[in-house]
A = this chain, B = another copy of it.
Amino acid sequence: MRASAFVPGHITGFFRPMENEEPLRSGSMGSGVVINKGVYTNISLREADETSLEIYFNGDKGEHPVSGFAAKEVLRLAGARYKVEVYHESEVPISQGFGASAAGALGTAMALGRALGLPLTMNKCGEIAHRAEIANKTGMGDVIAECRGGLVVRLAPGAPGIGIVDRIPCDFAIVAWIVGPPIETKTLLKDDEKKKQIASLGEKAVEALLKHPDPESFMRISRKFAMDSGLMSEPVRSAVKALEEKHISASMIMLGNSVFALTRDPEALRDVLQYPMIVAEIDHLGGRLI
């Protein structure tokens, strides 16, 4: 049996980590934009004597623990044993703040559920993917945003159906640049003092955005959060500065060595920075079977 899903990527502008003993209530508040570049997941499976699982990410066979977690959770719900192959084809880089791990996990839950004939609701798939992210410390709010689509404000943390989101109407295009090597989310957020400071800045950022919820404020507040939080690497800081000199409001993609801007004319930004560039529209649909 075969099934496929597409899950859009998600660029976080700012966030407030909110840990909870219960993984489904753990996560973050914050805001980010869901983009129409993401992860395609194709599942191929057949019944077998023993359950086995192979996961490929852009052709690279590996452990891929976030998708692996999601696949194992779905397989536990199945009544028989299967040889399962999961193929991710990603349009966005990993460990650069595009929510690729969440998109892979959510796509795995949706497509594997479909291939197995399990009637999983979107929230159920979202819960599985959210727990996969929390368990692996790879993300805290990408799944609920990628389930919804749009310029998302996360008002309360948690998995879809538990966390609360709002949306800000937005039809800008998104341009992103990858300006340095990948970053592991968990390495940046292990210092308790740092986490407290980011939590305080993130809380203020959400409050500020809700006072004036429009795309321009989202960019301005994201940028302030990035500056004040000390999360920007040197290449990110230089790129944001270079863009500012050209009157382009940009900020860091949380958490990556990458920056983004909202624009009505992505072509005009093509030669502004000499880094790999990703151009996307906003995805308003959220993850779906295809």
Contact = CB atoms under 8 A, between A and B. Distances in A.
A169 B122 CA distance: 7
Nearest to A147: B167
A161 B161 contact: no
Interface in A117-148: 119-124
Contacts of A161: 155, 164, 166
Contacts of A114: 169
Interface string A8-47: 0000000000000000000000000000000000000000
For this chain, the copies found in one complex come to 2
A76 interface: no
Contacts of A121: 153, 166-168, 210, 213
Q: What is the interface residue range for chain A against chain B?
A: 20 to 34
Interface in A149-182: 150, 153, 155, 160-161, 164, 166-169, 171
A220 interface: no
A254 interface: no
A288 B114 CA distance: 29
A119 B164 contact: no
26 contacts: A114-B169, A119-B168, A119-B212, A119-B214, A119-B217, A120-B213, A121-B153, A121-B166, A121-B167, A121-B210, A121-B213, A122-B150, A122-B166, A122-B168, A122-B169, A123-B166, A123-B167, A155-B161, A160-B166, A161-B164, A161-B166, A169-B288, A169-B289, A171-B289, A284-B285, A285-B285
CB-based closest 10 A-B pairs: A119-B214, A122-B167, A123-B166, A121-B166, A121-B213, A119-B213, A169-B289, A284-B285, A121-B168, A119-B212
